[in-house]
Amino acid sequence: MALPQIKHIEPVTEPIVDAKSYWAMARRRFLRHKLAVVSLCVLALLVLIAIFASQLAPMSPYISDPTAFSAPPSAHHLLGTDLIGRDVLSRLLYASRISLSVGLVSSSLFVIIGTMLGAVAGYYGGWVDTAVMRFTDMILSFPVLMLILVVVSVVGPSLYNVMAVIGLIGWPGVARLVRSSFLSLREQDFVEAAKASGASDAAIMFRHMLPNALGPVLVAGTFGAASAILTEAGLSFLGLGVQPPIASWGNMLNDAQSMTVLHTMPWLWVPPGVMIVVAVLAINFVGDGIRDALDPRMQL
Amino acid sequence: MISYLIINAAPGNPVTMLLNPNMSAGDLHSLEVALGLNQPVWVRYWEWLIQLVHGNLGFSYVNYQPVLARILRRLPATAELMISAILLSYIVAIPIGVISAVRQYSAVDHVSTIGAFLGFSVPSFFIGLILLYVFALNMNVLPASGQVTVGVVSPSIGDYLSHLILPAITLALGNIGITVRYVRGALLDCIRQDYVRTARAKGLGERVVLYKHALHNALLPVITIAGLQIPVLFSGAVITEQVFGWPGMGQLTIQAITQRDYPTIMGITLIAAVLVVAGNLVADLCYSLADPRIRL
């Protein structure tokens, strides 16, 4: 049987080698996630509102208007006034500062604590690991909100205490994540090499290993910021979070615990609720986008 | 397992440590002596621990009732609320998760994804307030607060249920969002596995493959998640009970905190932790029942 004659050889087109770095590829994948990109824009807008709240607000959020107590929305007060005559729109804008900064500060705090503890536990292993993880399990076995409520009631409710308490109690999830990736990283050659070249434990942990475990931490931090905002709102709603006259989205909803307010003055509680939903939803979508971008195989 | 229980039951400790120094500040000295508060922290903690072993959680600072009795009186209401929320969330979430996975990237999937994110992004008190506003205040179809109608001596089941609907939905919603995502993810993982391809290759119908082969395995991790959700539900119950005036442990917590009733607060945290651990244990047991590969 005659072999078919080869007329011409198709020039093999080299597949375009994607020589981009891990982070550049992640950015490209993130930009494909439309919902996440839109959410990022929304989030940026919220941050701008928070920064420029004092320029944007039509009037002071603390001074009450003696001519308008519990007034419905009007041309003068676009979103009406609250029970003691303060402008709801202005309070809403100022509140975005409080709520977003709680999210940022608390989540940074617990990412740092969780990373340190997780890194130490995963790197050293043995009894250090056991001790840290038992402590983590202990914290995890309490309903978080109850624990936060108890601690806040002891240290006293205030903006900084709320930030600190949420940050100090929220770290177990991050610690578990970092520990598990450190456990597998520890066995890899580059760690061996770093050890052989005489690097200190701290240098190995934080300069060599941590950058390889950063992806999941970033994702956990983003989702953590969203849950910190929710927790602050919940605490303030119960009257045990940020205290008036400082406005936060949560404590603006506190008035709505009264049935009269709930029924007859929706302008008092609908706008802050919507703001919480928008902010938390945007952050969660961004987190989802980052997760897809960093590791497409990861599921929720 | 038992040692795990003990380890987890112990940390009333840090809470006690935190609680006590603040306590003595405001109260009268005589009251302090009566309640034993003039003694050092560790003495009180030790005594509390000894009493705990005897099943005594101490007495409320406010009305001198035993803490355990106060909590046990509130426990059934919270249990009723949490169990109905859990049932509701699985009844709703599993079918949605399955449909969402089977038609991955379809319109249904996108809607359910966005819905799921909404579910865990909307604060429970906001949902609660909206439900109250719409169904209780404007449409007047469901009662706004309480567990039964006030003043009714022997309330009917219908009365119980109508009071239960709104709080249960409120509490379930966040859980539904998370469960939908997990079911979807787990089922997608299973569908791509070899044994599912084998089942299809044998010529089994899509239905049998999906429900008998894939779903059974996909629901295994969901059991674990159910266990992990219990503390979250507890936190949610605190807020939900406050919104709906539900006479459960969550409301008791808020009361105790505003009244600075530390023995009650400690008792509640301890009982809550024990319940969480018990819930995890039950989840583990269910897991081993559902998955014969796991032996205790």
What does the pLDDT look like over A166-221, one tens digit per residue?
888 888 888 988 888 888 888 888 888 888 888 888 888 888 888 888 888 888 88
pLDDT at B38 over 50: no
Whether residue B239 and residue A143 make contact (CB cut-off 8 A), yes or no, is no
Model confidence pTM above 0.90: no
The answer to whether the Cβ–Cβ distance between A226 and B117 falls below 8 Å is: no
CB neighbourhood size of B34 (10 A):
11
Residue A6 has pLDDT above 60, yes or no: no
Which region holds residue B73: left if phi is over 0, alpha if psi is between -120 and 50, else beta?
Answer: alpha
Bridge partners of B59, per DSSP, are B66
Three-class SS state of B59: strand
Mutate to test the interface with B, among A34, A140, A154, A260 (most CBs of B within 10 A): A154
Substitution target from B187, B257, B264, B282 for chain A, most A beta carbons within 10 A: B257
CB B54 within 8 A of CB B253: no
Q: Fill in the amino acid letter for A74.
A: S
Report the gap between the CA of A168 and the closest CA in chain B (Å). 13
Half-sphere exposure of A41 (CA within 13 A, CB side): 6
Q: Which residue of A has its CA nearest to B270?
A: A142
Q: Which residues pair with A81 in a beta bridge?
A: A87
What is the pLDDT confidence band of residue B49, given thresholds at 50, 70 and 90? low
Q: What fold characterizes domain B75-295?
A: MetI-like fold (1.10.3720)
Q: Answer yes or no: is pLDDT of A109 > 90.
A: yes
Summarize the confidence of residues B17-36 as an average pLDDT.
43
B-chain residues within 8 Å CB-CB of A147? 15, 269
Q: What is the pLDDT of residue B24?
A: 41
Q: What is the 3-state secondary structure (H, E, C) of A162-224?
A: HHHHHHHHCCHHHHHHHHHHHHHHCCCHHHHHHHHCCCCHHHHHHHHHHHHHHHHHHHHHHHH
Peptide bond into A245 cis (omega under 30): yes
User: Alpha-carbon distance B158 to B174, whole Å?
Assistant: 26
- 3-state percent helix, strand, coil for chain B, nearest multiple of 5: 75, 0, 20
Position of tokens 């949902």? Answer: B127
Burial A262-289 (b: 16+ CB within 10 A, else e): beebbbbbbbbbebbbbbbbbbbbbbbb
pLDDT of A287 over the 70 cut: yes
Q: Per-residue pLDDT averaged across B48-63, rounded?
A: 62
Find the CB nearest B235 among A140, A145, A281: A145
Q: Which residues of A touch B19 (CB under 8 A)?
A: 150, 154
Query: Residue A83 above 70 pLDDT?
Result: yes
A266 vs B41, more confident: A266
Q: Which of B212, B207, B236, B259 shows the shortest CA–CA distance to B102?
A: B207
**Both structure tokens of A265:** 């003055």
SS3 A81: strand
Tokens read off for A10: 């198709």
Q: Is A299's CB within 8 Å of B243's CB?
A: no
Tens of pLDDT, residues B176-210: 888 888 888 888 888 888 888 888 788 777 777 77
Query: Is residue B3's pLDDT more than 80?
Result: no
How close, in Å, is residue A284 to chain B by CA atoms?
7
Mean pLDDT of chain B: 74
Mutate to test the interface with A, among B13, B121, B183 (most CBs of A within 10 A): B121
Contact with chain B for residue A223, Cβ under 8 A:
no
Please state, in angstroms and rounded to a whole number, the distance separating the CA atoms of residues B63 and B139: 40
- For chains A and B, count residue pairs whose Cβ atoms are closer than 8 Å: 135
Report yes or no: A143 at the B interface, CB cutoff 8 Å.
yes
Query: Given an 8 Å threshold on Cβ–Cβ distance, is A269 in contact with B129?
Result: yes
Cβ-based neighbours of A191, under 8 Å, separated by 6 or more: A185, A204, A208, A209
Put simply, the answer to whether A143 touches B232 (Cβ < 8 Å) is yes
Residue burial A70-90, b: 16+ Cβ < 10 Å; e: rest:
bbeeeeebebbbbeebbbbbb
Report chain A residues whose CB lies below 8 A from the CB of B130: 273
A70: its two tokens:
């519990």
Position B138 scores a pLDDT of 75
What contacts B194, CB < 8 A, 6 or more positions away? none
Closest CA to B250 of B262, B233, B263, B230: B233
Bigger pLDDT: A228 or B228?
Answer: A228
pLDDT digits (tens, 9 = 90+) for B67-123: 788 888 888 888 888 889 988 988 998 889 888 888 888 888 888 888 888 888 888
Tell me whether residues B235 and A257 touch, CB distance under 8 A.
no
Beta carbons of B118 and A138 less than 8 Å apart: no
CB contact under 8 A, A262 and B137: yes
Q: What is the mean pLDDT of residues B234-250?
A: 86
The partner residue sitting opposite B182, judged by closest CB among A226, A277, A300, is: A300
B53 pLDDT band (50/70/90 cuts)? low
Residues across chain A: 300
pLDDT at B25: 40
Contacts of A259 in chain B (CB under 8 A): 137, 144
> pLDDT band at A2, cuts 50/70/90?
low
Candidate from B121, B138, B260 with C-beta closest to A281 = B121
Confidence band of B7 (pLDDT split at 50, 70, 90) = very low
Whether B248 shows a pLDDT value over 80: the answer reads yes
Q: Give yes or no for residue A299 having a pLDDT over 50.
A: no
Within an 8 Å CB–CB cutoff, is residue A63 touching chain B? no
User: Region A261-280: what's the mean pLDDT?
Assistant: 86
pLDDT at B16 over 50: no
The per-residue pLDDT for B9 is 42
Query: Is the minimum CB–CB distance between A230 and chain B shorter than 8 Å?
Result: yes
Q: What's the CA gap between A39 and A35, in Å, rounded?
A: 6
- Tell me how far apart the alpha carbons of residues B139 and B37 are, in angstroms, rounded to a whole number: 52
State how far residue A268 is from chain B, nearest Cα, in angstroms: 12
Of A146, A234, A238, Cβ closest to residue B269:
A146
With an 8 Å Cβ cutoff, is A4 touching chain B?
no
| Beta-bridge partners for B66 | B59
Q: How far apart are CA A92 and CA A88, in angstroms?
A: 6
Q: Dump pLDDT digits (tens) for A23-79.
A: 777 787 788 778 888 889 999 999 998 888 887 777 777 777 767 677 777 777 777
Chain A residues whose CB is inside 8 A of the B133 CB are 262-263, 266
Closest CA to A254 of A226, A267, A271, A235: A235
**pLDDT, averaged across chain A:** 81
Distance CA A100, CA A276 (A): 10
Q: Which of B4, B238, B277 sits opposite A146 (nearest CB)?
A: B238
Q: Which of A34, A38, A146 to mutate to test the interface with B (most CBs of B within 10 A)?
A: A146
Do the chains contact at B239 and A240, CB–CB below 8 Å? no
Inter-chain CB proximity B242 and A273 less than 8 Å? no
Six-digit token string for B27: 């109260």
Question: Is the model's pLDDT at B272 over the cut of 70?
Answer: yes
Domain boundaries, chain B: 2-53, 75-295
Q: Is the pLDDT of residue B41 over 60?
A: no
Residue of chain A whose Cα is closest to the Cα of B187: A299
Q: Average pLDDT, stretch A264-280?
A: 88
Q: How many helices (H) and strands (E) does chain B have?
A: 13, 0
The minimum CA-CA distance between A57 and chain B, rounded to whole Å, is 24
